[in-house]
C-alpha cells in the first residue's frame, strides 16, 4: 500500500500518508472486519467519511472506535454520517471534542470537514452558519497547496450533470445549503470552490457515502476540481439485499509530499 513520491532525494520523513474510509459500519464486529488497527498505524492521518457504526453516539461504541481509529486525536478527522448521529450528534462531538464542521491545516493542506446531515427541516440556523464558515475558509485560504472539502453524503449531483444516484448510496443534490435563498450545493458552495481553484490551490471534494452500488468514484470537473468518493459494504445479513455484497471494496490512500506540493491518491483493494 506504499506509494512513493518518485523523488530520489526525498527523505522518508518528508512523505506523509493518509487513509480515507467511509460507510464501514457492520453488525459483528461493529465496523467492517477488513478494517484493522494494525494496518492503520502506518498512516499519519485517518480521514473518516461517516457511518462508522449503526449508532455511534453510544459510549461503548465511541470507546471502541477510539481504540481502533483514534477518533479523539487531532490526526483523525471525522465527517459525521447519518448513522453516526441516530441518537444525536452532541454525544459524539463531546466525546471527540471537535465541532461538527471545522478546518484543519495538515502539513501544508487544508482539510475542511462539514456536516452533510443539516437540512432545512429545523436546521436552518446551522445550515446557514456552516455555509458561511465554508465561504469564509474559501475566501481566506492562501498558503495551502490543496483544499480538501470532506463530508459524508454526495452533494455533487447538479454539477455538470453528474448522475450521483448511480454510484452514491444517497444523493443530497436537492438538500439546501443556504436556507434564506434556498440554494443547493452547486449554487452556493461549488462557486466558492472554483474561486479557490483559481488561486492555484487544488480543490478536492471527498465523500464517504458509497458502498451499496460501488466502492469508488473519481471525477475531474471542467474547472479542474477533483471529486472523490469511497465507501465499503460489510458482509452481513442486511447488506445481502445489495447486488454488490460480497464483492471487493477499497480504501482511499493519499500520498503527500509537501515540499513538491504533491498530493496523489489511489483506491486500494481491501478484499471481500
Give the pLDDT band of residue 10 (cuts 50, 70, 90).
Answer: very low
Is residue 122 one of the residues assigned to a domain? Answer: yes
Would the pLDDT of 154 be above 50? yes
Is residue 27 one of the residues assigned to a domain? Answer: yes
Gap between the Cα atoms of 215 and 200, Å rounded: 30
- Confidence at residue 4, expressed as pLDDT on a 0 to 100 scale: 46
Is residue 7 one of the residues assigned to a domain? Answer: no
Would the pLDDT of 34 be above 90? no
Is residue 158 one of the residues assigned to a domain? Answer: yes
CATH assignment of the domain containing 96:
3.60.21.10
- Confidence at residue 236, expressed as pLDDT on a 0 to 100 scale: 67
- Confidence at residue 150, expressed as pLDDT on a 0 to 100 scale: 98
Is residue 6 one of the residues assigned to a domain? Answer: no
Is residue 137 one of the residues assigned to a domain? Answer: yes
Arithmetic mean of pLDDT over the chain: 91
Would the pLDDT of 25 be above 90? no
Contacts of 36 (CB under 8 A, 6+ apart): none
Range of the domain at 76: 13-271
Higher pLDDT: 24 or 236? It is: 24
Is residue 165 one of the residues assigned to a domain? Answer: yes
> In a 10 Å sphere around its CB, with 0-12 CB exposed, 13-18 middle and 19+ buried, how is residue 216 labelled?
middle
Average pLDDT on 226-241 reads 80
- Confidence at residue 1, expressed as pLDDT on a 0 to 100 scale: 38
Number of compact structural domains in the chain: 1
Is residue 2 one of the residues assigned to a domain? Answer: no
- Confidence at residue 12, expressed as pLDDT on a 0 to 100 scale: 54
- Confidence at residue 176, expressed as pLDDT on a 0 to 100 scale: 95
- Confidence at residue 248, expressed as pLDDT on a 0 to 100 scale: 79
Amino acid at each position: 500500500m506504499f506509494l512513493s513520491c518518485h523523488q530520489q532525494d526525498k527523505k522518508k520523513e518528508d512523505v506523509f500518508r493518509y487513509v480515507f474510509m467511509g460507510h464501514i459500519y457492520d453488525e459483528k464486529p461493529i465496523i467492517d472486519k477488513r478494517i484493522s488497527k494494525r494496518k492503520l498505524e502506518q498512516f499519519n492521518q485517518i480521514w473518516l467519511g461517516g457511518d462508522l457504526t449503526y449508532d455511534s453516539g453510544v459510549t461503548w461504541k465511541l470507546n471502541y472506535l477510539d481504540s481502533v481509529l483514534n477518533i479523539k486525536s487531532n490526526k483523525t478527522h471525522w465527517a459525521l454520517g447519518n448513522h453516526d448521529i441516530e441518537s444525536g450528534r452532541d454525544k459524539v462531538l463531546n466525546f471527540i471534542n471537535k465541532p461538527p464542521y471545522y478546518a484543519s491545516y495538515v502539513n501544508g493542506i487544508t482539510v475542511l470537514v462539514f456536516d452533510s446531515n443539516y437540512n432545512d427541516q429545523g436546521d436552518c440556523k446551522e445550515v446557514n452558519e456552516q455555509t458561511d464558515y465554508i465561504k469564509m475558509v474559501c475566501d481566506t485560504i492562501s498558503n495551502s497547496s490543496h483544499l480538501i472539502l470532506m463530508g459524508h453524503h454526495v452533494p455533487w449531483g447538479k454539477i455538470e450533470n453528474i448522475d450521483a444516484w448511480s454510484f452514491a448510496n444517497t444523493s443530497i443534490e436537492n438538500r439546501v445549503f443556504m436556507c434564506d435563498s434556498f440554494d443547493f450545493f452547486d449554487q452556493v458552495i461549488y462557486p466558492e470552490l472554483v474561486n479557490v481553484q483559481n488561486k492555484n490551490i487544488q480543490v478536492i471534494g471527498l465523500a464517504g457515502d458509497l458502498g451499496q452500488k460501488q466502492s469508488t468514484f473519481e471525477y475531474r470537473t471542467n474547472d479542474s476540481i477533483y471529486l472523490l468518493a469511497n465507501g465499503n459494504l460489510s458482509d452481513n445479513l442486511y447488506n445481502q439485499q445489495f447486488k454488490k455484497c460480497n464483492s471487493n471494496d477499497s480504501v482511499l490512500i493519499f500520498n503527500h509530499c509537501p515540499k513538491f506540493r504533491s498530493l496523489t491518491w489511489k483506491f486500494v483493494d481491501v478484499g471481500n
